[in-house]
Amino acid sequence: MTSVAATQFLPAVATANVASDFLVVSIHDIAPSNRETVQKIISELATNGVRVCSLLVVPDYHHQGLAVEDGQFVSWLRDLESHGHEIVIHGYFHQRPRGQNETLRKRLMTRSYTDDEGEFYDLEYEEALRRITAARDGFRRSGLTPRGFIAPAWLLGADGERAARDAEMEYTTRLRTVRDLRSGEDFSAWSLVYSVRSEWRRGVSLAWNAGLRLLVREKPLLRLSIHPPDYYYPAVWRQIVDLIKELDEVRTSTTYRDWIAEQRMATNQGLR
């Protein structure tokens, strides 16, 4: 990477030591309909040491209407971005229509793993590019500066990833990795995430994340993914807050945008 390319994507707040351990807290599925809940989440995170988050905004959540046409919502996002939070394109509709004669694997991934929300799981290149560029341009016209694209449920097919790269997105993430779309480099970073659709899913999520936290504790990047409904289940939210309090002592909170920038600078300077 050239020095010009590196400096074009500098973090909003550079950290002193690129080898430090980091925490990215991302809030998913943001839309005008859940703005109040998301604001409560952001406020509680800030109280517990998480200064900035990656905010995954859906352009037209479940076909409810374009988010950028809600003036109050856009003003709120601009204010958050001005305070260091990051706006990320999160799919377009966050819905995937069911197809006929789908394989068992496809049904499991798009109906059981996620509730018909794997929009970019098998979307063809041309349509994926159309949706991502429409989201990008709509956000930019609204005064926002999205750098990343993250598919709903992290289900991103090869055509979708190519479309994100061609739409000038800087990075994407999957459940277990963060990928720099400029260099193609993958960073191992498994996200802690909760499923609250049923009681048994909540119980499994609590146990799974308690164990996963121990497995990933040595990783330089730890990811915590929050969905608005998580806030309304006391056991889930308590575990999230406890984890954040624990990590506040040993990790620096950042955004995906700024973390990728740190890695690029480190590579450019020969530090890794």
pLDDT of 205 reads: 96
Closest-CA residue to 86 (of 109, 54, 58): 54
Pairing type for strands 186-188 and 191-193 reads unpaired
**How many whole angstroms separate alpha carbon 156 and alpha carbon 109?**
11
pLDDT tens column, 150-201: 999 999 999 999 999 999 999 999 999 999 999 999 999 999 999 998 999 9
pLDDT of 110 reads: 65
Q: Is 81 left (phi over 0), alpha (psi -120 to 50) or beta?
A: alpha
pLDDT of 108 reads: 66
What CATH number was assigned to the domain covering residues 3-10+21-268? Answer: 3.20.20.370
Tell me the pLDDT of the chain averaged across its residues: 89
Mean pLDDT per 10-residue interval, the chain, length 272 residues = 37 44 97 98 96 97 95 98 98 78 68 69 93 98 98 93 97 96 95 94 95 91 97 98 91 96 87 68
pLDDT tens column, 171-183: 999 999 999 999 9
**What are the DSSP E strand ranges found in the chain?**
22-30, 54-57, 86-89, 171-173, 177-180, 186-188, 191-193, 221-226, 252-254
**How many whole angstroms separate alpha carbon 107 and alpha carbon 114?**
10
- pTM of the complete model: 0.88
**Which residues, including other chains, have CB under 8 Å from residue 185's CB and lie 6 or more apart?**
179, 263
